[in-house]
Amino acid sequence: MGVKNEKDMAETSSELVERAISEFESPLIGYAKTIVHDLDRARDVVQDTFIRLYQQDAGKVSDGLKSWLFTVCRNRALDVLRKEKRMVPMEDELMASRDSGVDSPDTITSDNERVELVKSYLARLPENQATVIILKFEKGYSYQEISDETGLSTGNVGFLIHTGMKRLREILPDDLQ
């Protein structure tokens, strides 16, 4: 009776995540936004925080849940900023090449081939993940617009985008990332 099986642990983790979302989602988004200065990125950070909570042993974090959540949220937000800082030189290089004039036919063909290849990998994801990723990155929809379009909650939209992108990073070859 004192030993819990994996199913019981998952249910306990699920309940903990549900409680954490209802109590702390808004304050965490506000906190993350003060660090990353963007609502969508803040939502991504908070989604990742809740995913990490789900992966934890509920018994180990439930006593200090609030401080654990805010610490993980801060660390994830700082990770996002560090990652973006590394990406800036690449974006500058891309902008410089774009400023040089019209792309060559080879560049256009190469870009189109890469897009089609990424789409083929996207098709390997569950349909709901692929749909929200396409709406977000191809169509440029906000989480709220995706929510309105699909009928999913904005929290679920963020979760699906995060898990779908994580899976894509796992299956995409390095040269496409």
How far does the chain reach from its first CA to its final CA, in angstroms? Answer: 48
CATH number at residue 118: 1.10.10.10
pLDDT of residue 26: 94
- Number of structural domains (the chain) is 2
CA separation, residue 176 to residues 2, 5, 114 (Å): 49, 40, 7
C-alpha to C-alpha distance for 61 and 67, rounded to whole angstroms: 9
For the beta carbon of residue 87, count every other beta carbon within 10 angstroms: 10
C-alpha to C-alpha distance for 61 and 68, rounded to whole angstroms: 7
Instruction: Quote the mean pLDDT of the chain.
Output: 80
Q: Whole domain around residue 72: which residue ranges?
A: 1-101
Cα 30 from chain centroid (whole Å):
17
pTM (2 d.p.)? 0.47
State whether 64 and 117 are in the same domain: no
Q: Which residue among 71, 101, 131 closes a domain? A: 101
State whether 168 and 126 are in the same domain: yes
pLDDT of residue 116: 79
pLDDT of residue 106: 58
State whether 58 and 127 are in the same domain: no
Q: Which residue among 73, 101, 129 closes a domain? A: 101
Q: Which residue among 52, 77, 101 closes a domain? A: 101
Structure tokens that stand for 69 in this block: 């959540």
State whether 87 and 168 are in the same domain: no
pLDDT of residue 117: 80
Determine whether 160 is exposed, middle or buried from the number of CB atoms within 10 Å of its CB (0-12, 13-18, 19+): buried
State whether 167 and 126 are in the same domain: yes
State whether 81 and 62 are in the same domain: yes
pLDDT at 69 over 50: yes
C-alpha to C-alpha distance for 124 and 105, rounded to whole angstroms: 29
Tokens 């617009």 locate to: 145
State whether 5 and 72 are in the same domain: yes
Residue 25 pLDDT grade (very low, low, confident, very high; cuts 50, 70, 90): very high
State whether 123 and 96 are in the same domain: no
pLDDT of residue 77: 93
Q: What is the pLDDT of residues 33-65, one digit of tens each?
A: 999 999 999 999 999 999 999 888 888 888 899
Number of H helices and number of E strands within the chain? 8, 0
State whether 118 and 79 are in the same domain: no
CATH number at residue 25: 1.10.1740
- For the chain, what percent of residues have pLDDT higher than 70? 77
